[in-house]
Amino acid sequence: MEENGRNGNSSKPVGLPKRVNNFGFFSETAWTMEGARVAAQVRLRHLDRGGRKDPDTEELLKRTKALEDFVDGKLKSYVLEHPTAKWWRRIQGMKLATIAKVIGEIENFGRYYKKGDLMIPNFVTRVTEVDEEGTEWIWVEGIERLQTPSALRFFAGLTPNQKREAGVLLDFNLNLKVAAYRLFQYSILFGGGKYFEFYQNYKSRKRSELELAGVKINPTPRGRFCPKCAVEMKVPKDTRFCPTCNTKLALKNEPEGILFLGHLDAMARRKAIVLFLDHLWLVWREALGLPVTRPYVLTHPEVCGEHTTYISPWDMVDLSEGEMAFQKKEEPVSS
């Protein structure tokens, strides 16, 4: 996501430490530790295929795992004290490790702006700080910068046409996107609560709508697909061109009028993740007393038509306050 102000201000304060709290710092560190651990694991697997071993890499993996466990443990303790905990702890199946990394990436999104910068929200009234060059700066927290739910969706890479492209700088936070999809996979999907029901209902409703419109829902091809022959090709994984017509093969390609099941499932997953992030944004900002916007379906009924049902964050909780997950009698760090 673009860090520079719209007024062309791209400089940073000289001598002022970034005011990100422990939560944001440990979140960033957690991704570094995860990357180091995965790199060591991959190297050891490659060595093992050649019948070799490396004691130094094995020791690195051991130490990296221990450090990663320490950092993750800190994240779990921080997230339990977060202003949003009273809400997400009532969602069935929620995992501390996944929700901590989602919230942590937003905590780590804070930055300094020069005094008078148009990007500073009008409700931010912190005392200015002066750097070593005498320039005045104002710190803006991550959740303060994200002034609408759509801003958070964009930051998470969940708006249409946001994708990774070779040689193109990302306009979203990849770590947050990964964390959000992990949250769906390990918390929502396995939890079986109301967000899971929302995912299932949307998937079923969307399928009915598509089939009514004449779209055929087909199983996702497992192999390579030739767009010219419009058939799945049973060829070795490293085959790049169709043996019949010499067209470059794709992993999958949807002919006109056909939607693959995997595509439909991805649409439903994204819808559930977006709903969760919208709710997280609302609960968080309300807990801090920050301004919130009214839902689009309520402010633009003429655009939304029949789709004007507003789902509150508190409509989606599965547990009562007394049943809230991660009570003090439990050991949260080991969950």
Tokens of 234: 């049973």
**Residue 209: band (very low, low, confident or very high) from pLDDT cuts 50, 70, 90:** very high
Report residue 206 as tokens: 């969307």
CA distance 107 to 139: 13
pLDDT confidence tier of residue 303, bands split at 50, 70 and 90: low
Helix, strand or coil for residue 264? helix
Greater confidence (329 vs 207) lies with 207
Structure tokens at 223: 């192999």
Q: What is the DSSP letter of 127?
A: P
pLDDT over threshold 80, residue 311: yes
Q: What pTM, to 2 d.p., does this model score?
A: 0.84
d(CA 283, CA 88): 9
The overall average pLDDT reported for the chain is: 88
Residues 38, 39, 44, 46, CA torsion sign: positive
pLDDT for residue 158 is more than 90:
yes
Q: Concatenated DSSP letters for 265-307? A: HHHHHHHHHHHHHHHHHHHHHHHHT---PPPHHHH-HHHHTT-
Continuous segment of H or E residues that includes residue 121:
none
Rounded Cα–Cα distance for residues 273 and 177 (Å): 10
